[in-house]
Amino acid sequence: MMNETSYAPSSLAEEDVPSTTTERIIAEVWAEVLNLDEVGRHDNFFDLGGHSVLATQAVARLCVALGRHLPERALFDWPTVATLASALPDYPAAEQDVRIRRR
CATH classification at residue 76: 1.10.1200.10
The tally of domains found in the chain comes to 1
Evaluate whether 33 touches 61 at the Cβ level (below 8 Å): yes
Per the domain annotation, does 97 fall within a domain? no
- At 25 the three-state DSSP class reads helix
Per the domain annotation, does 83 fall within a domain? yes
Instruction: Give the number of other CB atoms < 10 A from CB of residue 19.
Output: 14
Per the domain annotation, does 12 fall within a domain? no
Per the domain annotation, does 41 fall within a domain? yes
Q: Which domain holds residue 44?
A: 18-90
Return the closest-CA partner of residue 55 out of 35, 78, 76.
76
3-58 tens-digit pLDDT: 444 444 457 787 789 999 999 999 999 999 999 999 999 999 999 999 999 999 99
pTM: 0.78
76-97 tens-digit pLDDT: 999 999 999 999 887 778 764 5
Per the domain annotation, does 102 fall within a domain? no
Helix or strand holding residue 24 (H, E): helix 21-34
Per the domain annotation, does 13 fall within a domain? no
Q: What is the DSSP letter of 20?
A: S
Q: What is the pLDDT of residue 6?
A: 44
CA 46/CA 77 separation, integer angstroms: 12
